[in-house]
Structure 1
Amino acid sequence: MAIFLCSHCVSVCTYLNAWPAALMCIFCAVLQMAVLDYYLVHHLGHLHYYWLGIDAFNVILLFLSIYTAHRAIRKNIDTETKHRPIASGSMGWLAWLFMSASVAAKSVIILKYFAHELVESSQRFFGPNTLKTTIAMGSLIFPIFLISQHDAPFGSEARRVIDDLTETTPFDILDTADILQALLESNDSLVKGFPEMILTIAFLNLILPTVQLVTLANYNYGQRKISGRVVNAHRLLSVLAVNIPNLLTRLLLWHGFTTAVSPFTLKNILCIFLNLYDIYDQTRHHLIQIENKKQNYEENSKESLQRIRPDIEDEVLSFYSVATVMEKRRKLEDSQQSLSKISIKNSKDSKSGGMVSIEDIPM
């Protein structure tokens, strides 16, 4: 019975493909946009209702990106094996760019003007914790959205490429949302310009997953072979754009302004170490492969030369042997011709009674 239920569930999920994930992605995105809109309208006035038009555009673009990816998957179904190849997801990065830029812009406005005035209480649900959770919802939306953009089989090379490029992205979004805690409190003690620096880093980190989606779209979500340099470039980007800035910001907040330290400090250190080690290990492995190919080429060249050299020597020896025989034959023919001339001359001289001198004999 349990096996039947499991197989039935798998069949239903296969038929639905990624639509449950797509609906959940759209629901979470709409919820995130709506909560941020409430903060803006409630605290800054009805002028910010214009965000609803931008949100409607983002939802339509999000739906179109999911729908086109689904069509790309269904269009390429093999009718014999029912295997769905990987979708291109060419519009996915565009939808995420507009959606994340909208969320980042709203977050910057809220954190800049009135986030420090929010108070957490049992009577007010929309407090600082709800705001921080809403911003961090991007870490939930991104992996669900990614599921709707491809159908790479589990354990395949394409799935490995996708995981290599995006496995730390949800944690980077959580890291960014956590570092905004310093701006949810009174920031009078912060140095002038320091809050703006935090907001700039947060804005860039929220839209940074667009780079991964663009790369995946260019390589057809792992269906085309991706070079190790591209993967290392993404790892280096994660180190330089996310982990090092967030780590330095936390250290400054901790030691310079005596704010509470976050456990994500250890996450930044760990990600920096692991990414740099992966870059080193992959580069070392690549150099070893190049050296092995060079050695194999040299060994094959020596073996080929050793196989060719005896043949060349035999040909040279045979050439010189033929030349020697021809030279001897030529000399023998010359000698025979000289002797025949002498015999003819002697016969003439004998008839005429003359004598042959020794100078007439060719040497």
Structure 2
Amino acid sequence: MAPQSISAKVCEVLYQLPTRIICTVIVIFQCVILDYYLVTHKGYAWLAFIAADLAVVFVFVAAFVISYRHLLMSRESSTQMTEVRPGSLPLGYIAWGVYSLALVARIVVIFRTFVFNLSESEFFGPNLLKLSLSLSSPIFLLLLMTHNNAPITSPRRQYIEEITGSVPLDILDSVEILDVLFTNQSRILLPFSLEHAILSVSCINLVLPVLPLLTLSRTHFGYKKLADGLLMGHRLLHMIVVNVPYLVIRLIIWHGAEQSVSVLLTKNIIMIFLTLHDLYAWKQEKELEKEENARNYEMEERNSITDNQAL
């Protein structure tokens, strides 16, 4: 039994560690690249952001350690046929909150001061900047993977995907819409209010994944479930905060500023349509459920009256 136990623990470590190591490496790489842009274009005083980088790495490592212990306890309890809930894992959404705030601070400085001076002919130009910002999407995925061990076909996994399924694409959407702020031409054609709206909405939506992570934390990553009404409210909030603003901004860029439109405009339309369709279907189900309950209540009343008359 001892050798089997040791080999099982070794397999567990090998299963859990790579995801955490890769996520940490990507976070550090993104921080270094963004710090280089700041120092190169703003001066050495911006090396102060290294303090924020250390805070981000520290909270990610702490979240990984705690989640590893919880998931290991959960896996061991399942082999012993005992039910142990793995805990709320609060550092998951705290880690993303700290990380996203540090990221947004850099984005605001970069896009309000020198992004329009970047040249595509340079290695540290707009392409590398966009690539480094887009790394937030796999960072979110890896952070999520390290905080649950739900089997692929389980209801827990389906619940987690329903809560977070669109987040990685929304992060890429937030980075893509910033593309119009990179060139001098776009900066001249776009009104200041539109530039401000694009930057504001993108930054908000980079912080927004805190909410699904918080929701999963409070529901113990699928061990509990949100009420249908709260789940639908979560999807409506997501539609209003993410897809509707991006759709409006892209239409303004297309028709008002006469700029080329992104294909992600179609993604915004599809997500809005699906959310409204699901809302309508959910309301129809609730109406049918109310009618069924009313019929059952009426039938019980009739049966009660009949029994009283028989007595």
Give the structure-2-normalised TM-score: 0.91
Q: 1:182 aligns with which of 175, 180, 183?
A: 180
What is the Cα deviation at residue 234 of structure 1?
1.6
* SS in structure 2 at match of 1:221: helix
Q: Structure 1 or 2: larger helix share?
A: 2
Q: Secondary structure at the match of 2:259?
A: coil
Measured in 2, the distance between the counterparts of 1:84 and 1:263 equals: 46
Match for residue 160 of structure 1 among 158, 161, 169 = 158
Contact 1:84–1:151 (CA<8 Å) still a contact in 2? no
Cα distance in 2 for partners of 1:58, 1:180 equals 24
Residue 244 of structure 1 is matched in structure 2 by 244
Per-residue CA deviations over 1:303-328 (Å, capped at 9, x if unaligned) read 233233212xxxxxxxxxxxxxxxxx
Cα distance in 2 for residues equivalent to 1:197 and 1:155: 40
CA contact 2:150–2:156 (8 Å) conserved in 1: yes
- The amino acid of 1:154's aligned partner reads I
The offset of 1:86, in angstroms, is 4.7
Other structure's SS at 1:188 match: helix
Q: Match for residue 304 of structure 1?
A: 304
**Letter paired with 1:163:** E
Alignment of 1:127-276 (within 5 A): 127-186=125-184, 187-276=187-276
**What does 1:61-100 align with in structure 2 at a 5 Å threshold?**
61-76=59-74, 77-78=76-77, 79-81=79-81, 86-100=86-100
Distance in 2 separating the partners of 1:40 and 1:285: 53
Aligned 8 A contact 1:73 1:84 in 2: no
Instruction: Go from structure 1 to structure 2 and tell me whether the alpha carbon gap of 1:296 and 1:14 turns closer, same or farther (over 3 Å shift).
Output: farther
The one-letter amino acid of 1:69's match is: S
Q: How many residues align?
A: 300
- For residue 41 of structure 1, the aligned residue among 39, 56, 60 is 39
AA in 1 matched with 2:223: Q
Cα distance in 1 for residues equivalent to 2:303 and 2:279: 36
Superposed CA deviations along residues 78-99 of structure 1, whole A, max 9, x for unmatched, are 2425998655221110110010
- Structure 1 pair 80–262 and aligned structure 2 pair: CA distance change class (3 A): same
| Distance verdict in 2 for CA 1:176–1:302, change over 3 Å | same
Q: Distance in 1 between matches of 2:162 and 2:56?
A: 28
Separation (CA, whole Å) in 1 of partners of 2:287 and 2:162: 21
Distance 2:287 2:31 in 1: 48
- Scaled by the length of structure 1, the TM-score of the pair is 0.78
Q: Hey, what's the Cα distance between the residues in 1 that align with 2:274 and 2:117?
A: 39
Question: Bigger shift: 295-304 or 255-264?
Answer: 295-304
Unaligned runs of 5+ in 1: 1-9, 312-363
Task: Provide the C-alpha distance between the structure 2 equivalents of 1:43 and 1:126, rounded to a whole number of angstroms.
Answer: 11
In the TM superposition, what is the alpha-carbon distance from 1:144 to its structure 2 partner? 1.1
Q: Decide which structure has the larger Cα Rg and report it.
A: 1
Which residue in 2 is equivalent to 1:32? 30
Does the residue aligned with 1:120 lie in a helix, a strand or coil? Answer: coil
- Residue by residue, what CA displacement relative to the aligned partner does 1:11-45 show, whole Å, maximum 9, x if unpaired? 97655343221111111111111111111011111
Deviations 1:38-95 (A, max 9, x none): 1101111101101011100110001111211111122342242599865522111011
Cα 1:19–1:258, aligned 2, differ >3 Å: closer, same or farther?
A: same
1:86–1:151 contact (8 Å) kept in structure 2? no
Report SS of the residue matched to 2:189. Answer: coil
- SS at 2:231 equivalent: helix
What's the secondary structure of 1:63's corresponding residue?
helix
Gaps of 5+ in 2: 1-7
